[in-house]
Structure 1
Amino acid sequence: MLELKRDGQSLTILPETGAALGQWQVQGHDMLRPVANPALRNQKGVAVGAYPLLPYVNRIADGHFAFGGEEHRLTPNMEGCPHPIHGNSWEHEWQVTHKADSHAILTFDHTPADDIARGEWPYAYRVVMSYELRADGLYVSLVIRNSDKVDQPVGLGFHPFFHSETGSRLKFRTDLVWLTDDHGLPVEKKACEGEWDFARGQALEGRVLDNGFMGFDGHALLEQPGGLPNLTVEADPVFSHLVVFSQPKDGYVAIEPVTSMTDAINRPEIAGRGVHVLAPGQSFGGIIRFRAEASRRPAEG
């Protein structure tokens, strides 16, 4: 486990658990709400506060897709779900290539020829991720490079869990929302109106969500009650999609800036689906910034 510190903030990083975060603390407040998901077997029961999503985001239907004239089949990686989810980088240990007081760089190299990688992702890639504490918050940089000899389709994102309490409200602007089936695959597209209009904020209490939004403008605000600081999420324009996964009974909401919709690789008819094709040696990435507002009262304990 690594620990970064700066300006009243601390950050714990778990390189062996897919470069996940343990906790981000600001002035004594635990900003993340770590979750242990037993269905994600390769997280080995570890409670994580956030983790990267690469080289695709959310689900690929039945683990099947075609690209470059070839058919590919991926092995499911979440128990009870036939659709592989969130790529494969979260399933592996990452290497720490740089560590300073407030900044760390981690890398992961995937080679599909390795026996251990069979049924994962069929292309070689390299990821460089940076966690940096700055005076105004946490900066997360993700860059993926095509290490293969052929083109490959990619997507990336970040999956942080935050506290969802009585009175928590979420604000963001998007154009469209996808309604999903029982396994989280998109089935119907709707305009962000009424209950799906978060521009002025929506209460999260009692609201179960597992939806992808299109046309994300890169800004989200989680308003917190009591002494928890409000949280601002700012993402580069490459993150034109947003996934919101809210489980109020478990006390968390995941606010996930991502570059593509769920099952994007199998939805060529949808404009703006977000598949990015990299030529050999080409890279793609962006930065997500998390900022905590000053709390209204000091943290207890």
Structure 2
Amino acid sequence: MLELKRDGQSLTILPETGAALGQWRVEGHDMLRPVANPALRNQKGVAVGAYPLLPYVNRIAEGHFAFGGEEYRLAPNMEGCPHPIHGNGWEHEWQVAHRTDSHAILTFDHTPSDEAGRGEWPYAYRAVMSYELRADGLHVSIVIRNSDKVDQPVGLGFHPFFHSEAGSRLKFRTDSVWLTDDHGLPVEKKACEGEWDFSGGRALEGRTLDNGFTGFEGQAVLEQPGGLPNLTVEADRIFSHLVVFSQPDEGYVAIEPVTSMTDAINRPEIAGRGLHVLAPGQSSGGMIRFHAEASRRPAEG
């Protein structure tokens, strides 16, 4: 476990657990709400506060897809669900490439395996995660490089868990939302109107969500009236989709900026699905910034 510190903040990083975060503390406040999910076997029961999603985000239906004239089938990686989820970066140990008191860079190199039944991602890639505490909060950078000899479809995202309390409200702007089936796959696209319009903020209490939103404008605000600092999530333009996974009975909400819709690789007919294709040697990535009220500093000058 690594620990970073700066300006009343501390951050714990878990390289052995998929480059996940343990906790981000801001002036004594636990900003993340770590979750141990026994269905994610490769997290080995560790409670994590956030983790990277790559080289795809959310689910791939039945683990099956075709690309570049080849067909592939991935093995399920979450118990009780036939659809592999969140890529495979979270399933492996990462290496610490650089560290200072307030900044750490971690890397993971994936090489496809011919081992029978393994069923992981069929392309080689290198992923780089940068975690940095700055005066205005936590800055997270995610980059993936195609290390293979052929084109590779990719998706990126970040999966932080935050406290969801009585009175918590979430605010963001998006164009549309995907309604999902019992296994979290998109089945119907609706405009963000009525109950799906979060532009003015909506209460999370009593509302269970596991939905992908499209046309994300890059900012989400979690209002916390119970004593925790309000939180602002700001994402680069590449993160044009947002997944909200709200479990009020469990006391958390995941606010996940991502580059694509769920099962994007199998939805070529959908405009704006967000699938990115990297040629050999090409890279893609972006930054997500987390600002807590208690961590803000007056602007200089």
TM-score normalized by the length of structure 2:
0.97
Q: 2:137, 2:93 → 1: CA distance?
A: 26
Q: Distance in 2 between matches of 1:193 and 1:224?
A: 24
Contact persistence 1:245–1:255 (CA under 8 A) = yes
Q: Which runs of 5+ in 1 are unaligned?
A: 296-301
Corresponding position of 1:106? 106
Which ranges of structure 2 fall in alignment gaps of 5 or more residues? Answer: 296-301
**CA deviation digits over 1:4-53, x for unaligned, max 9?**
00000000000000000000000000000000000000000000000000
CA distance in 1, matches of 2:290, 2:23: 13
| 1:178-257 equivalent positions in 2, closer than 5 A | 178-257=178-257
Structure 2 counterpart of 1:47, one-letter code: A
> After superposition, what is the alpha-carbon deviation per residue over 1:81-135, rounded to whole angstroms, capped at 9, x for unaligned?
0000000000000000001000000000000036399301000000011000000
| Amino acid paired to 2:21 | L
**Superposed CA RMSD:** 1.0
Is the contact between residue 19 and residue 90 of structure 2 (CA under 8 Å) also seen in structure 1?
yes
Aligned to 1:118: 118
* SS in structure 1 of the partner of residue 32 of structure 2: coil
1:43-94 alpha-carbon deviations (Å, 9 max, x no partner): 0000000000000000000000000000000000000000000000000000
- 8 Å contact kept, 1:112–1:118: no
> 1 CA distance for matches of 2:53 and 2:110?
14
The residue type paired with residue 120 of structure 1 is E
Q: CA deviation at 1:225?
A: 1.2
Count of residues in correspondence between the two structures: 295
Distance 1:179 1:128 in 2: 32
Instruction: Quote the Cα distance in structure 1 between the aligned partners of 2:24 and 2:107.
Output: 20
Q: Using the TM superposition, give the Cα deviation of residue 264 of structure 1 relative to its aligned residue in structure 2, in angstroms.
A: 0.2
Cα distance in 1, alignment partners of residues 49 and 203 from structure 2: 22
Amino acid at match of 1:222: L
Which stretches of structure 1, 4 residues or longer, exceed 4 Å deviation after superposition? Answer: none
1:18-167 matched pairs, under 5 angstroms: 18-113=18-113, 115=115, 118-167=118-167
- Partners of 1:77 and 1:192 lie apart in 2 by 31
Deviation of 1:226 (Å) = 2.2
- For the pair 1:258 / 2:253, whether they are aligned, the reply is no
CA distance in 1, matches of 2:241, 2:90: 20
How many angstroms apart in 2 are the aligned matches of 1:275 and 1:34?
A: 29
Partner AA of 1:275 in structure 2: L
Going from structure 1 to structure 2, the CA distance change for 1:238 and 1:124 (only over 3 Å counts) comes to same
Q: Identity percentage over the alignment?
A: 88
Alpha-carbon separation, structure 1, partners of 2:128 and 2:150: 20
State the AA in 2 paired with 1:147.
S
Q: How far apart are the structure 2 equivalents of 1:264 and 1:72? A: 15
SS of 2:62's partner is helix
Query: Which residue identity is paired with 2:251?
Result: G
Cα separation, 1, equivalents of 2:216 and 2:168:
20
Task: Name whichever of 88-97 and 109-118 sits farther off.
Answer: 109-118
| Amino acid corresponding to residue 120 of structure 2 in structure 1 | E
Cα distance in 2, alignment partners of residues 117 and 224 from structure 1: 45
In structure 1, C-alpha distance between the alignment counterparts of 2:18 and 2:117, rounded to whole Å: 15
SS across alignment from 2:294? coil
Q: SS of 2:179's equivalent?
A: strand
User: How far apart are residue 248 of structure 1 and its match?
Assistant: 0.2
Cα separation, partners in 2 of 1:243 and 1:29, compared to 1, 3 Å:
same
